Amino acid sequence: NAGVTQTPKFQVLKTGQSMTLQCAQDMNHNSMYWYRQDPGMGLRLIYYSASEGTTDKGEVPNGYNVSRLNKREFSLRLESAAPSQTSVYFCASSEAKTGGTYGYTFGSGTRLTVV
């Protein structure tokens, strides 16, 4: 029972390069999320997906795109990386439904450095 799996764990990019962060969950959760965490900034929501086939912007979506490939997988793409995107990225999932959500399960994170 792996929970939420993120790849890669570490990545160094040059400014302007692109990459996709992968996330998969095996808990049959409906909702999936992408957060970034910067020192002193807490967790900021980039994009989320309430169900397969739907995605919505969060607090800091600029410079990112997402794809909810199927119920299990939710990927985050940086089309042209910038140093300001240096951060730790967390994927999370939850069993959310009308009437309330349940605790989020987080992946172990991707530590991204853009030089």
Partner 1 sequence: GQQVMQIPQYQHVQEGEDFTTYCNSSTTLSNIQWYKQRPGGHPVFLIQLVKSGEVKKQKRLTFQFGEAKKNSSLHITATQTTDVGTYFCAGLPGTSYDKVIFGPGTSLSVIP
Q: Which residues bind partner 1 (CB under 8 A)?
A: 30-31, 33, 35, 40-43, 45, 48, 50, 58, 90, 92, 94, 96-109
Q: Is 43 helix (H, G, I), strand (E, B) or coil?
A: strand
DSSP state at residue 13 = E
- Specify the residue, 58 or 61, whose C-beta has the smaller distance to partner 1: 58
- Specify the residue, 14 or 40, whose C-beta has the smaller distance to partner 1: 40
What is the nearest approach in angstroms of partner 1 to the Cβ of residue 75?
18
What is the nearest approach in angstroms of partner 1 to the Cβ of residue 105?
7
- Helix and strand numbers (H, E) in the chain are 0, 11
What is the nearest approach in angstroms of partner 1 to the Cβ of residue 16?
29
- Specify the residue, 40 or 53, whose C-beta has the smaller distance to partner 1: 40
What is the nearest approach in angstroms of partner 1 to the Cβ of residue 40?
8
Q: Is 56 left (phi over 0), alpha (psi -120 to 50) or beta?
A: beta
DSSP β-bridge partners for residue 105: 93
C-alpha to C-alpha distance for 18 and 16, rounded to whole angstroms: 7
